[in-house]
Amino acid sequence: MRYGPGTYGGGGRGARRRSVVVAAVAVAGCGALLAAGCSPPGGAGAGPSGSPPGATAASAGSPGPSGSPSGSPPVPGPPAKGSVTVTGEIAKGLESPWGVAPLPGGDLLVASRDKGTISRVSVGSGTMTEIGEVPGVAPGGEGGLLGLALSPSFASDRLVYAYFTTESDNRIARMRYDENRAPGQQLGAPDTVLRGIPKGSIHNGGRIAFGPDRMLYAGTGESGDGALAQDKKSLGGKILRMTPDGKPVHGNPEADSVVYSYGHRNVQGLAWDKDKRLWAAEFGQNTWDELNLIEPGANYGWPDAEGKAGRPGMRDPVAVWRTDEASPSGIAWAQGSIWMAALKGERLWRIPLAGAEPVAAPEAFLEGKYGRLRTVVALGGDRLLLVTSETDGRGSPEAGDDRILTLTVQ
User: Which pLDDT tens digit goes with each residue over 318-369?
Assistant: 999 999 999 999 999 999 999 999 999 999 999 999 999 999 999 999 999 9
Q: Indicate the helix (H) or strand (E) that contains 155.
A: helix 154-157
Q: How far apart are CA 261 and CA 280, in angstroms?
A: 11
In CATH, what number is assigned to the domain containing residue 258? 2.120.10.30
Residues of 392-408 as b/e, b for ≥16 C-beta within 10 angstroms? beebebeebbbbbbbbb
Radius of gyration, CA atoms only, the chain: 20
In a domain, 65, yes or no: no
In a domain, 63, yes or no: no
**CA trace torsion 314, 230, 137, 379 (10° rounding):** 10
What is the model's pLDDT at position 339? 98
In a domain, 26, yes or no: yes
What is the model's pLDDT at position 24? 32
Q: Which amino acid is at 31?
A: G
Do residues 140 and 201 lie in contact, with contact meaning Cβ atoms separated by under 8 Å? Answer: yes
What is the model's pLDDT at position 53? 54
By three-state DSSP, how is residue 248 classified?
strand
| Model pLDDT for residues 42-73, shown as the tens digit of each residue | 333 333 344 455 443 332 333 332 333 334 44
In a domain, 196, yes or no: yes
Tell me the residue range of the domain where 359 lies.
8-38+81-409
What is the model's pLDDT at position 62? 30
Q: How many domains does the chain have?
A: 1
| pLDDT-flagged residues of the chain (< 70) | 1-80
In a domain, 67, yes or no: no
Do residues 312 and 346 lie in contact, with contact meaning Cβ atoms separated by under 8 Å? Answer: no
In a domain, 71, yes or no: no
DSSP 154: H
In a domain, 337, yes or no: yes
In a domain, 234, yes or no: yes
pTM of the model: 0.85
Q: Which amino acid is at 78?
A: P
Q: How far apart are CA 16 and CA 338, in angstroms?
A: 25
Do residues 379 and 385 lie in contact, with contact meaning Cβ atoms separated by under 8 Å? Answer: yes
Quote the Cα angle for 398-92-106, to 5°.
155
What is the model's pLDDT at position 149? 98
Length of the chain measured in residues? 410
